[in-house]
C-alpha cells in the first residue's frame, strides 16, 4: 500500500520531496482540531482577523523564495506565471483585508409588507470549509478559496493536488506562524484524502476537472454539504472582420499557449470571419514560431514550460492525431519536445480546417493548441460557440464595442470579454463562475465573493410592546376580509 506522495521536478524529473499521505483518520483528527480552532477564530473581531491575515502575508513574503522555487519546480511553469501566482496571493489578501469588516456587517433590509418591524441579515461563517485544488495553478487556485474562507471566520482544510502540493504546504506553514492553532491544515493525498475532507466539512470549494467536480458533488450530496465548483472549459474566441487583427492574434497566441495551455480559461476554439481568416492564420503562425519552449531553452527565457499533469500530454497527442485523421490541417507544431531526463514539452500548435465533428473542438484539450475555424457570419459564430457542454469563459473581438457587447450577451458562458481574454478571472469586483459542465456558483464579485463562505441568517425583530398581531387568533377572519379589499385597491 502506497503511504507517501512523491513530488517531481517537471523539467528534470528529479525527486523533490516525498510526503506522507494523510489517511481518513488523519483527516478526521485535523477536522476535530480545526473545529476547535474555528470557534476562537470566528469570535475575533473582523478587523483583528484582517490584521492577522496581513501578518500572514508578511510571513508569506518572508518565505517567498522557498515557495517560489517549489512552485516553479513542481509545475514547470515559466517565471512570469510563477511570480504571478505569488503576486495574486498578496493582492487577494490586501483586497479582503480592506473590505471584510464592511462586507460582514449585519445588513438592514426592508420588512414590507409588515410595518414597524426591523429586518437584519447576519453573515455567519459555515464553520469548516474544505478546499480541493488542482495542479495547473496550484497556489493561486487554492488560495483564491482559502483566503476568503479564512477572512469570513472559517477554519480550512486544504487538499492540494498530489502532483503539486509543495507550494501550498509551505504557504500553510508560513500562515500557521500567525493563525490560531488548528485553524488551517494542509492535507496530502489523492482521491481518498479528498473524499475524507468532503465528509468532514460544512462547505467544500473545488477547482478541477468535470469528473472531479461530479465526484465531489455526489459525495457532498450525502449530507447536503454546500459546494462551489469551478470546472473545465472549452473557451471560444469570436473574431469579427472589423477587429484589430494584431491585437486579436496576439491574444490568441497568448491565450492558447500560456501556462502550456493548462488553464480552464485557455482559448481552445477560435471562430474567424472568412474575409480575414487567411491573414489571421498567417499572423498566428508567424507569431507562434517565436515562442520559446523546450528542454534546451533556459528557464528564464521560456514563454511556457513542460506539462505539469503527467498524463496530459497523452490527451493532447490523442486530440491532435484524431483531428488529423478527421481531415484537419496541423499548420505548425503538433509534436512533443523531449530529451532524456527532461520533462515533456509540446510545440506551440496551430490547427486549421477543423469542424465540430472533431474531438478537438468538443473535448477539453488543455495544451498549447490553437484551433481556427472559418465562419460566414456572426450568427454562425455564436451558434458554434454555444455548441458545447462547457460554458466558462469566452471572448468577442470587434472594432464596434456596442456590437461586441450585444454578441457577448448571446453567448452561453458565465464570463465573457470584449477585445480581451482570460484576465477577467483576476478582477475581484467581477463574479467568476461557469455554466453547464463548467461549474456551480461563482467566486469574486465583490462582497458576494466573501459572503459565499457564509450562510446568511435572516432576522426579524419586533421592538414595539404589542400584545398581538392582526393575523393572530382570533382575528384572522376580519384580517382576511381587509386583505382582500386592499388587494382590489392596490393591484387591479
Does the annotation mark 230 as catalytic?
Answer: yes
Place of cell 387591479: 492
C-alpha torsion angle, residues 181, 184, 190, 195 (rounded to 10): 100
DSSP letters of 398-457?
-S-HHHHHHHHHTS--SEEEES--SGGGG-TTSEE--EETTEES-EESTHHHHHTTEEEE
Determine the Cα–Cα distance for residues 359 and 372; give it in Å rounded to an integer.
14
Q: Which residues contact 412 (CB under 8 A, 6 or more apart)?
A: 385, 386, 388, 391, 435, 436
User: Of 56, 257, 264, 417, which one is the catalytic site residue?
Assistant: 264
Cα 141 off chain centre by: 6
How far is CA 65 from each of CA 6, 104, 190, 213, 296, rounded to the nearest angstrom? 21, 34, 27, 32, 24
Determine the Cα–Cα distance for residues 158 and 135; give it in Å rounded to an integer.
13
Q: Which residues contact 392 (CB under 8 A, 6 or more apart)?
A: 230, 231, 232, 233, 235, 264, 265, 413, 414, 415, 434, 435, 438, 439
Determine the Cα–Cα distance for residues 396 and 406; give it in Å rounded to an integer.
10
SS3 content of the chain, % helix, strand, coil (to 5): 45, 20, 35
Strands 329-332 and 184-186: unpaired
Instruction: Tell me the β-bridge partners of 76.
Output: none
Q: Of 449, 433, 440, 332, nearest to 392 (Cα)?
A: 433
**Other C-beta atoms lying within 10 Å of the C-beta of residue 44:** 14
User: Of 230, 347, 364, 374, which one is the catalytic site residue?
Assistant: 230
Determine the Cα–Cα distance for residues 304 and 368; give it in Å rounded to an integer.
9
Determine the Cα–Cα distance for residues 59 and 50; give it in Å rounded to an integer.
14
Cα 411 off chain centre by: 20
Collapse the DSSP code of 17 into the 3-class scheme (helix H, G, I; strand E, B; otherwise coil) and give the result: strand
Residues with catalytic roles: 230, 264
Amino acid at each position: 500500500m502506497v503511504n507517501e506522495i512523491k513530488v517531481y521536478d517537471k523539467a528534470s524529473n528529479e525527486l523533490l520531496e516525498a510526503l506522507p499521505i494523510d489517511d481518513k483518520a488523519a483527516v478526521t483528527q485535523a477536522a476535530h482540531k480545526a473545529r476547535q480552532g474555528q470557534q476562537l477564530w470566528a469570535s475575533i473581531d473582523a478587523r483583528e482577523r484582517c490584521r492577522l491575515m496581513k501578518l500572514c502575508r508578511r510571513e508569506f513574503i518572508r518565505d517567498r523564495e522557498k515557495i517560489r522555487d517549489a512552485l516553479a519546480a513542481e509545475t514547470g511553469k515559466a517565471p512570469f506565471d510563477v511570480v504571478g501566482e505569488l503576486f495574486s496571493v498578496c493582492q487577494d489578501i490586501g483586497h479582503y483585508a480592506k473590505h471584510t469588516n464592511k462586507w460582514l456587517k449585519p445588513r438592514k433590509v426592508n420588512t414590507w409588507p409588515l410595518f414597524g418591524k426591523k429586518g437584519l441579515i447576519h453573515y455567519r461563517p459555515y464553520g469548516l470549509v474544505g478546499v480541493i485544488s488542482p495542479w495547473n495553478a496550484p497556489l493561486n487556485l487554492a488560495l483564491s478559496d482559502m483566503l476568503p474562507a479564512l477572512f469570513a471566520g472559517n477554519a480550512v482544510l486544504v487538499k492540494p493536488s498530489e502532483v503539486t502540493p509543495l507550494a501550498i504546504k509551505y504557504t500553510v506553514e508560513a500562515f500557521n506562524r500567525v493563525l490560531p492553532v488548528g485553524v488551517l491544515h494542509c492535507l496530502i493525498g489523492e482521491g481518498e484524502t479528498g473524499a475524507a475532507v468532503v465528509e468532514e466539512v460544512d462547505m467544500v470549494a473545488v477547482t478541477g476537472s468535470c469528473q472531479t467536480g461530479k465526484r465531489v458533488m455526489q459525495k457532498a450530496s450525502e449530507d447536503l454539504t454546500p459546494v462551489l465548483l469551478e470546472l473545465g472549459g472549452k473557451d471560444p474566441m469570436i473574431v469579427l472582420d472589423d477587429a484589430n487583427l494584431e491585437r486579436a492574434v496576439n491574444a490568441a497566441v497568448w491565450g492558447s499557449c500560456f501556462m502550456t495551455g493548462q488553464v480552464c480559461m485557455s482559448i481552445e476554439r477560435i471562430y474567424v470571419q472568412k474575409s480575414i481568416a487567411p491573414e489571421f492564420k498567417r499572423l498566428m503562425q508567424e507569431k507562434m514560431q517565436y515562442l520559446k519552449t523546450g528542454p534546451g531553452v533556459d528557464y528564464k527565457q521560456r514563454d511556457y514550460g513542460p506539462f505539469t499533469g503527467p498524463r496530459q500530454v497523452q490527451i493532447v497527442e490523442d486530440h491532435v492525431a484524431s483531428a488529423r485523421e478527421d481531415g484537419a490541417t496541423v499548420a505548425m507544431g503538433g509534436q512533443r519536445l523531449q530529451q532524456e531526463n527532461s520533462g515533456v514539452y509540446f510545440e506551440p500548435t496551430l490547427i486549421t480546417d477543423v469542424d465540430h465533428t472533431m474531438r478537438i473542438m468538443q473535448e477539453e484539450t488543455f495544451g498549447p493548441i490553437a484551433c481556427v475555424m472559418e465562419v460566414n457570419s456572426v450568427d454562425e459564430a455564436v451558434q458554434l460557440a454555444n455548441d458545447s457542454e462547457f460554458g466558462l469563459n469566452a471572448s468577442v473581438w470587434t472594432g464596434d464595442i456596442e456590437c461586441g457587447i450585444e454578441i457577448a450577451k448571446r453567448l452561453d458562458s458565465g464570463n465573457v470579454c470584449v477585445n480581451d481574454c482570460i484576465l477577467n478571472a483576476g478582477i475581484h469586483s467581477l463574479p467568476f463562475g461557469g455554466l453547464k459542465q463548467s461549474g456551480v456558483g461563482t467566486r469574486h464579485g465583490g462582497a458576494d465573493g466573501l459572503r459565499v463562505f457564509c450562510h446568511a441568517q435572516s432576522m426579524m425583530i419586533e421592538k414595539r410592546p404589542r400584545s398581538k398581531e392582526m393575523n393572530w387568533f382570533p382575528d384572522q377572519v376580519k384580517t382576511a376580509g381587509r386583505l382582500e379589499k386592499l388587494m382590489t385597491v392596490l393591484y387591479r
